[in-house]
Amino acid sequence: MTTEIRIDGERLWQTLMRSAEIGPGKAGGLRRLVGTDEDKEIRDQFTEWCTEAGLTMSIDQLGNMFARRAGTEDDLPPVTIGSHLDTQYAGGRFDGILGVLAGLEVVRTLNDHAIETRYPIEVINWTNEEGARFSPSMGPSGAFAGVFEADFIANRADDDGFLQGEELERIGYRGPEPVGGRQLDSYFELHIEQGPQLDAERIPLGIVTGGYKSYGMHVDVRGRTAHAGPTPMNERKDALVGASRVVVAVNDIGWKYHNTNGKTTCTRIVAWPNKPGIVSEWAQFSVDCRHPDRDMAAQMMAEIEQAIVEAADKANVEMEIGTRWEFDGANFAPELIDLMRKTAKDIGVPYKEMLSQAGHDAYHIAKVCPATLIFSPCKDGITHNEEEDAELELTEPAVNVLLQAVLARANR
């Protein structure tokens, strides 16, 4: 019975640990940024693994990689399993990587048992999910789903002015295929939870039924340079003070909504000239606001915008909200969520239904095909940190649910 096959947990772990050798960070974690030599190395390694598993590779013009296992009715659109192999600056060994390599393990397991599927299956590595080097995050999966123009994403520059498309070209992964525009049957993504709930309760599977409402924006602050020595306090227009007032206020708003799981963060601040002895004339910061309840998220954003007005007034500077973005993961496919519930019950994996708090490629892909997102536990919920960790025993059950759900979908 194909419903009795299981993945090879040791093989999956060895594959994850080999990945963890590529782009080592400073404390056992990873720094594997898009378009770097480390990115090339993991892509080459992934290609080698996929080719050994009999998969056919194709790469689109944003470096998204599709490793295809033919179906017995190969003209049908593919059932896909994806996530990302890139990491944060100080990232972990599992965030995203688990989802791609679990897809590989699913295929390897089908190979072990010589199981054919009616629908083709594709394992996908999306470029730059993290947005660590190039902003926005999730750009290439977004372009695949028609959220962004592919050229816009290719032309994003890093802090040193290098363009994402050119850096992909440099490492040989700006492929020939157009971005998007083809039909997928369905999309499955397994990701570590990036929160502490599953680990705390030792539950090996989270079935995501929706997402937190998430808002983001960049804010520019304009003041005036002045000598930090003689310039009286009342003649200053200190952009850094204005930005810092907002950082503090945004943090306070997060605490205010902490009891209902709200979070607000200013993640990034830059100022100019930002030198000793001089008051900065310009600053920019990024705001991130999330809440499970849409109305409360909107309320938090309103409070943040009010805090921006007050901080600008207090610091005698001007502030302007620039780029804004929002996502909510509200459109995962009920049929696939049901398939996940049923599969977990069938093979006896305890699960918990939950909302996703972070953005994932699945949010975008859900716009162009039925998509589902599941979670496995990560130690203490620590992520975007080199101490991010997971254990095989708590990871394997979710991968088996993925295997069986994909198999059911691909043979329906």
Q: Which of residues 28-47 bind a second copy (CB under 8 A)?
A: none
Helix (H, G, I), strand (E, B) or coil at 98: helix
Q: How far is the CB of 363 from a second copy (least distance, A)?
A: 12
Q: Is position 99 an interface residue for a second copy (rule: CB under 8 A)? A: no
Sole binder of a second copy in the list 5, 53, 76, 228 (CB under 8 A): 228
DSSP summary character for residue 77: P
According to CB under 8 A, which residues from 310 to 329 bind a second copy? 315
In angstroms, the CA 82 to CA 196 distance is: 23
- Among residues 96, 144, 145, 104, which one has the least CA distance to residue 123? 104
Q: Is position 248 an interface residue for a second copy (rule: CB under 8 A)? A: yes
In angstroms, the CA 33 to CA 137 distance is: 12
Q: How far is the CB of 358 from a second copy (least distance, A)?
A: 4
Sole binder of a second copy in the list 199, 238, 361, 389 (CB under 8 A): 238
When the beta carbons of 174 and 263 are compared against a second copy, the nearer one is 263
When the beta carbons of 268 and 412 are compared against a second copy, the nearer one is 268
When the beta carbons of 214 and 400 are compared against a second copy, the nearer one is 214
Q: Is position 290 an interface residue for a second copy (rule: CB under 8 A)? A: yes
The residues pairing with 214 across neighbouring beta strands, listed in sequence order, are 290, 327
Q: How far is the CB of 171 from a second copy (least distance, A)?
A: 21
DSSP summary character for residue 78: P
Are the beta carbons of 185 and 77 closer than 8 angstroms? yes
Sole binder of a second copy in the list 13, 45, 77, 89 (CB under 8 A): 89
Angle at Cα 153 formed by Cα 152 and Cα 154, nearest 5°? 95
According to CB under 8 A, which residues from 160 to 219 bind a second copy? 193-196, 212, 214, 216
Q: Is position 274 an interface residue for a second copy (rule: CB under 8 A)? A: yes
Query: What backbone torsions phi and psi does residue 16 show, to the nearest 5 degrees?
Result: -60, -40
Q: How far is the CB of 193 from a second copy (least distance, A)?
A: 7
DSSP code string of 224-241:
B-EETTTS-GGG-B-HHH
Sole binder of a second copy in the list 161, 176, 229, 348 (CB under 8 A): 229
Mark 12-31 with x for binding to a second copy (rule: CB under 8 A) and - for no binding. --------------------
Applying CB under 8 A, which part among 42-50, 183-191, 229-237, 335-343 lies near a second copy? 229-237
DSSP code string of 169-199:
HHTT---SBPSS-S--SEEEEEEE-SSSHHH
- Among residues 320, 377, 393, 352, which one has the least CA distance to residue 208? 352
Applying CB under 8 A, which part among 41-49, 163-171, 275-283, 334-342 lies near a second copy? 275-283
Are the beta carbons of 357 and 211 closer than 8 angstroms? yes
Q: How far is the CB of 340 from a second copy (least distance, A)?
A: 20
Q: How far is the CB of 275 from a second copy (least distance, A)?
A: 6
Sole binder of a second copy in the list 184, 271, 340, 394 (CB under 8 A): 271
Q: How far is CA 196 from CA 180, 193, 281, 389, in A?
A: 34, 8, 41, 12
When the beta carbons of 111 and 135 are compared against a second copy, the nearer one is 135
Q: Is position 291 an interface residue for a second copy (rule: CB under 8 A)? A: no
CB atoms under 10 Å from CB of 272, counted, come to: 14
Are the beta carbons of 205 and 397 closer than 8 angstroms? yes
Sole binder of a second copy in the list 122, 281, 303, 389 (CB under 8 A): 281
